[in-house]
């Protein structure tokens, strides 16, 4: 008769982001094909994520123009979170699937659970901060130039990591290795890395808390911010059209119209960077939605089908989908961020193509400005600087 090992014997999943389930047939637990497939896929994801996120961190730290951008600093913090996640958690999660028992000790078991929660929390918190920052930049373009500094961004990132760690201290208490002798198969002690807290209710509440603070609440804040951003841009564009439509405006009215048009143009340029942040947030939401939905189902439904093979296989896909989020962000920066494109190419090619790209881009924008009749020195300077460093 088939039985399920302790990973799924609890009302809540053994991990908020990973779960294992092995069966045995009147003897020691048996390993299925997932013991090879899942670790292999996780290793591939880790290699891509390490290469891509390391490149992002290197570019931001290496080039002065990139370091001068507050948004780039937040992007680097997201890359650091993804890098820590794949380096610290992927190998341990791969081991969790590669063997029917845990052989790495209680400390690494707790560390795996703790770091999974902290790194994901830091990532979603940084994305939230980035979105609030973009809202502030677009709605207060002149004030933000004085208040947004790299030092403040660095302090905010440090606070994000400290708070994320404090928020998930309970994970180190809930998860751990089972005591020797608790599970014995064919006279062999089998040790599992799973939830060991005595209160099933506390485990369930913590799991729901994790879903709230690492997914629901941040995305709610982000959605509100982007709704306000779009409303502001719509209002600003309508105001700019109205201000410039009158032909009989006096000189004072013309000055106000030009200022309004400049505000519309500035907000539109800043929206390009905001759009990149939005893409990153959407990918995070999409990649983590299935595993959170599955865990929430597990938490609220007493009839959750723990012994269902289809649910078991579906959890594999949810887990891999969530982990893959760690390697997609560098692709977004490379495809959508002009400044990252330039420096990616500069690093990949032996000749200084990046500098030529920057100079060529500046020249093209300057010519474009002349063709469109926008020749004021302030407008030209802002266009060129924004082209050389898209992420402001």
- Note down pLDDT in tens along the chain; length 392 residues: 333 333 444 333 444 444 443 433 344 456 677 778 888 999 999 999 999 999 999 988 988 888 888 888 999 999 999 999 999 888 888 888 888 788 888 999 899 899 999 999 999 999 999 999 989 988 887 788 888 889 999 999 999 999 999 999 999 888 988 888 777 776 777 888 888 888 888 888 898 999 999 999 999 999 999 999 888 888 877 765 444 444 434 444 444 444 444 455 555 566 667 788 888 899 999 999 999 998 888 888 888 887 778 888 888 888 899 999 999 888 888 777 667 778 877 777 754 444 444 444 445 544 554 555 444 444 444 443 434 444 45
Tell me: do 89 and 113 sit in the same domain. Answer: yes
| Residue 345, domain member (yes or no) | no
| Residue 172, domain member (yes or no) | yes
Tell me how long the chain is.
Answer: 392
Backbone angles phi, psi at 14, to 5 degrees: -65, -35
pTM: 0.76
Backbone angles phi, psi at 175, to 5 degrees: -100, 150
Helix (H) / strand (E) containing 364:
helix 353-371
Q: Specify the pLDDT at position 302.
A: 81
288, 325 contact by CB (below 8 A)? yes
- Quote the radius of gyration of the chain (alpha carbons, Å): 25
354, 342 contact by CB (below 8 A)? yes
Tell me: do 267 and 384 sit in the same domain. Answer: no
Report how far residue 173's alpha carbon sits from residue 113's, in angstroms, rounded to the nearest whole number. 10
Residue after which a domain boundary falls, among 288, 311, 336: 336
Tell me: do 111 and 80 sit in the same domain. Answer: yes
Tell me: do 259 and 202 sit in the same domain. Answer: yes
| Residue 361, domain member (yes or no) | yes
Buried b / exposed e over 363-377, threshold 16 CB at 10 Å, is eebeeebeeeeeeee
> What CATH number did the domain enclosing 259 receive?
1.20.1070.10
174, 159 contact by CB (below 8 A)? no
What DSSP state is assigned to residue 185? E
239, 260 contact by CB (below 8 A)? yes
Q: Specify the pLDDT at position 287.
A: 92
Distances (CA, A) of 352 to 61, 101, 389: 18, 52, 18
The residue range of the domain holding 392 is 351-392
* Contacts within 8 Å (CB) and 24+ apart, 151-156: 152/70, 153/70, 153/73, 153/74, 154/73, 156/129
Tell me: do 256 and 363 sit in the same domain. Answer: no
Tell me: do 312 and 377 sit in the same domain. Answer: no
Tell me: do 320 and 392 sit in the same domain. Answer: no
- Strand 188-189 and strand 184-185: the pairing is antiparallel
Chain centroid, CA 263 distance in Å = 30
29 by DSSP, 3-state: which? strand
Please give the tally of structural domains in the chain.
2
Tell me: do 183 and 219 sit in the same domain. Answer: yes
What are 233's two structure tokens?
């841009």
Tell me: do 108 and 149 sit in the same domain. Answer: yes
Tell me: do 329 and 373 sit in the same domain. Answer: no
Tell me: do 26 and 131 sit in the same domain. Answer: yes
| Residue 326, domain member (yes or no) | yes
Tell me: do 154 and 287 sit in the same domain. Answer: yes
Backbone angles phi, psi at 248, to 5 degrees: -105, 30
| Residue 341, domain member (yes or no) | no
């Amino acid at each position: 008769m088939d039985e399920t090992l302790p990973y799924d014997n609890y009302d809540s999943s053994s991990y908020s982001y990973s779960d294992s389930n092995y069966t045995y047939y009147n003897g020691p637990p048996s390993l299925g094909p997932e013991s090879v497939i899942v670790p292999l896929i996780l290793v591939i994801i880790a290699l891509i994520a390490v290469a891509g996120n390391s490149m992002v961190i290197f570019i931001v730290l290496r080039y002065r123009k990139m370091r001068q951008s507050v948004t780039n600093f937040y992007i680097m913090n997201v890359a650091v979170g993804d890098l820590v996640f794949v380096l610290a958690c992927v190998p341990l999660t791969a081991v969790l699937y590669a063997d029917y028992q845990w052989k790495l000790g209680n400390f690494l078991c707790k560390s795996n659970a703790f770091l999974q929660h902290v790194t994901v929390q830091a990532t979603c918190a940084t994305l939230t901060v980035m979105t609030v920052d973009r809202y502030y930049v677009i709605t207060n373009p002149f004030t933000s130039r004085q208040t947004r500094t790299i030092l403040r961004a660095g302090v905010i990132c440090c606070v994000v990591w400290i708070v994320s760690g404090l928020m998930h201290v309970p994970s180190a208490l809930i998860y751990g290795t089972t005591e020797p002798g608790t599970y014995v198969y064919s006279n062999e002690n089998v040790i599992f890395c799973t939830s060991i807290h005595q209160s099933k209710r506390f485990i369930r509440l913590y799991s729901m808390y994790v879903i709230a603070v690492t997914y629901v609440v941040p995305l709610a804040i982000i959605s509100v911010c982007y709704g306000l951003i779009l409303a502001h841009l719509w209002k600003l564009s309508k105001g700019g059209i109205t201000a410039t439509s009158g032909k009989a405006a006096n000189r004072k009215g013309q000055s106000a119209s030009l200022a309004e048009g400049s505000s519309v143009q500035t907000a539109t340029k800043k929206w390009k960077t905001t759009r990149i942040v939005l893409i990153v947030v959407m990918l995070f939401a999409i990649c983590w939605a299935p595993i959170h939905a599955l865990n929430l189902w597990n938490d609220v439904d007493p009839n959750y089908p723990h012994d269902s093979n289809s649910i078991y296989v579906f959890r594999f896909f949810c887990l891999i989908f969530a982990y893959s989020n760690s390697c997609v962000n560098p692709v977004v920066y490379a495809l959508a961020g002009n400044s990252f494109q330039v420096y990616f190419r500069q690093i990949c090619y032996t000749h200084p193509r990046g500098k030529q790209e920057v100079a060529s881009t500046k020249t093209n924008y300057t010519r474009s400005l002349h063709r469109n009749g926008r020749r004021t020195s302030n407008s030209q300077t802002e266009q060129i600087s924004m082209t050389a460093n898209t992420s402001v």
